[in-house]
Amino acid sequence: MFVATLIAKQGDLTPALVEALRNAWGGEIVQWLAADEAAEFALPAVPGNAHTVWGDLQGQAVDLIVQPFEGRRKKMLLADMDSTMIQQECIDELAAEAGVGDRVADITARAMNGELDFEAAIDERVGLLAGLDEGIIDHVLETRIDDMPGGRALVQTMKANGGYAALVSGGFTAFTSAVAARLGFDENRANTLGVEGGVLSGRVVRPILGQQAKLEALNDITARLGLAHTDVLAVGDGMNDLLMLQNAGTGVALHGKPALQEKCDVRVNHGDLTALLYLQGYAKSEFVT
C-alpha cells in the first residue's frame, strides 16, 4: 500500500484539488492532516503519471509525495543546518559583517549546487574572514540568524514520539551548537573555525566535514542507536547533502538547489519543515512545540 500526501502553505490546498486527484488515481478516503494545508489518501500502487502530476501541482504551489505507507514514520531525524534548519548560510552572514558578503555568497551558491569542490570552497571562503574578532560569531547569531519555520515543531514532535535528532552541517560548530540547543537536537556535528588570539585565523580545523562525513554520521549514529537506515528521515538543501539523503529511509530536498532536486524523489518546495511531519502521517493537532 502507498500513500499520497499533498502539502501547501496554509490556505492554499483546496478540497476540490485533493478530491480530484483522489478520484483520478482511485485512492481511498481523504484524511486531512491540517485544514487547507495538508491531506493524504492511500493508494494500491504508485500511479504511472505521478511525476507528471507532481510537476503540474508545482505550478499550483502544492507539494506531492507518494511513498510506501508502511514504515514512513521515522525514528531519527538527520538534518542539515544552513538553509535547512535556519534560513541563512552562516558563512555568508559572517562575510557580510566582514564586507566580503557578495564574493562569499557567490562561492557558497556554486558549492551548494555542486559546481565547486566543497573543501576548496570552504577554505577559500573562510580565508576571507581572517582577522575578524571571535565575538562576531555571537553577534551574527543574535542579529542575522532565523530559524526555518516549522523546525522546532519537527524536532520536538519526533522526539516526543521516541525519535532522535542529529544536526549535521558543513558549517561550523560555533553555530550548530547554538541552533541545536535552541531547537532541541540531541547532538550536532560540524566544522571548527580556527581561532588564534581571539580572532578568526582564516583556516578550518581538519578534517573538514563534507558530503562523505554526513554519510558517515548517518552510519555512525544509526549503528550506535541500533537503528537501520530505513528508520531515518534526512533533510537538506545542497549537493553536500546528497549521500545522506540517498542513503536515509526518506531523504527530503527542502527548497533544494536544482542539482540536488534532480537526484531526489522527495522534494518540498512550498511547505515549511512541518511538511516533514505531514509526510510521516502526523496531523497538525499532534505537533509538539
Strand boundaries in 95-214, DSSP class E = 164-172, 187-196, 199-205
SS3 56: helix
Strand boundaries in 52-143, DSSP class E = 63-68, 76-79
CA 143 to each of CA 90, 94, 260: distance values in angstroms, whole numbers, following the listed order: 12, 11, 30
Phi, psi of 246 (to 5 degrees): -70, -25
- Asked if residue 31 lies in contact with residue 40, where contact means CB atoms within 8 angstroms, the answer is yes
CA 66 to each of CA 165, 249, 279, 288: distance values in angstroms, whole numbers, following the listed order: 24, 14, 9, 25
Q: Which residues are catalytic?
A: 80, 82
